[in-house]
Structure 1
C-alpha cells in the first residue's frame, strides 16, 4: 500500500447550521476546515477537499477541490467516490476520509486504519447502548473499488454502511475518553461545546 490521499468531506448542506459552508465557521479563531486540514496534513502528505459549488471560496485553504461526480447531494459516498477518482489520477491505491465538521479526530487515525490489514476500514468507538458506534465518514478506502461504488450510487445506495458492510469493512476501535474524538459540530450549541472541549483538553 502506498501512502493514501487524505480527503476532507465537505459536500453536505449544513442544514442544522442554517445552510452554507459549515466548515468555514470559526472555532476559537480558526475555521473548522482549517483545523481539520492541519490535523490531517500532519498524518498525510497529500490532502484534498471534496466540496460542491464555487471552489474559489476555499482558496485560503490551499487544497485541491474535487466536486461530486454524482448529482443531487448523494451524501458522503459521493464524496468518497470523488476522492477515489482524484486519487486514481495520482496513482494512489487508497484514500482516507475525514469529515469537515469534526476537528478533534484522532492524531493517529491514518496509521491505525492502515494497521487494520484491510483495503476497507472504518473508525468505531465504544457505545454503552449500541456496543460500538460507527463513524462512516472516517475510513480507509481502496481506490480500485471506485467503479463498484459508482454503480452502487447510480443504483440508489446512499448510506455508507449499506455499501461497506457487505464488502468486509474492518472496524478500527478508538477510545471515546476522556473526550469523544469524533464529536462533530452540527449546531450553534455544538460550537459552544467544542470551545469548552478545547479549553478543558487543550485541543
Structure 2
C-alpha cells in the first residue's frame, strides 16, 4: 500500500527534448501509453495533489487531467525555472514543501515521496541511485525560494550544483525489478534508444 503524503507534486515537462529530437518526450508512446502517463501513475498515489509544469500550448496535455502551469518569474531557463514555479505554486496554496519529478522517468519507486520526506529534515532531499544524483527528482522546502531565484537571476542554472551548494540530503534508492529485469528507478527516456530500452522492459514476456 502506497502511503500518500500531504505534499503536492509537480511533474517538470518544460524542457526542449533536444536529445530526443525535439517535441515532448512525455507524449512519446511507451507500451501503449504516453511516457507521461507512466510517470503520473507512479507519482499520483504518493502526493496530495499533482500538477504539470510545461511551457507553450497547455492543450497538448489536456487529456491527462492535470492542472498545467508555465514557468513564472524566470521562464525558459531549464528545470530550475520549473522548480521555482512549483515552489511559488505550493507556497501560495499553503504548503511548506513540494515534490518534483521529471517527465521522462517512467519507473519511479512506489515509496519515492515517503522516503525522501523521511530523510529531508528542513533541507532539500534528492533521489540517488547507482552513485548518481537525480536533482530534479526531489523535495523542495519553499523556504529556499530566494536562493533558487538568485541562482536563476545569475544564470547559474545547474540544478545539481545548486543542490550541492544548499547541502541537499541525498537519499539512495535500490534498483527496481520489472518483468524480471533489474532497472534503475530513475531511468530517463532521453533518446529514442532509451525509449526502445524502456519498451523492451515493459513488454518483456
Structure 1 distance, partners of 2:120, 2:133, is: 18
Unaligned runs of 5+ in 1: 127-131
Q: Structure 1 residues 71, 167: CA separation in 2 closer, same or farther (over 3 Å shift)?
A: closer
1:156 aligns with 2:155: yes
Q: Structure 1 residues 89, 109: CA separation in 2 closer, same or farther (over 3 Å shift)?
A: same
How many residues are aligned here? Answer: 195
Query: What residue is the counterpart of 1:187 in the other structure?
Result: 191
Which deviates more, 140-149 or 70-79? 70-79
Following superposition, the deviation at residue 157 of structure 1 comes to: 1.2
- Within 5 Å, which residues of 2 pair with 1:1-203? 3-71=6-74, 73-118=76-121, 119-126=123-130, 132-176=131-175, 178-200=182-204
SS at match of 2:59: helix
Structure 2 distance, partners of 1:41, 1:5, is: 9
The answer on whether the counterparts of 2:74 and 2:152 sit within 8 Å (CA) in structure 1 is no
The answer on whether the counterparts of 2:31 and 2:203 sit within 8 Å (CA) in structure 1 is no
**Off by >6 Å, runs of 4+ in structure 1:** none
Unaligned runs of 5+ in 2: 177-181
Following superposition, the deviation at residue 190 of structure 1 comes to: 1.1
Q: Structure 1 residues 55, 125: CA separation in 2 closer, same or farther (over 3 Å shift)?
A: same
Query: What RMSD over aligned residues (CA atoms) do the two structures have, in Å?
Result: 1.6
The answer on whether the counterparts of 2:75 and 2:81 sit within 8 Å (CA) in structure 1 is no
Following superposition, the deviation at residue 72 of structure 1 comes to: 5.6
Following superposition, the deviation at residue 199 of structure 1 comes to: 3.0
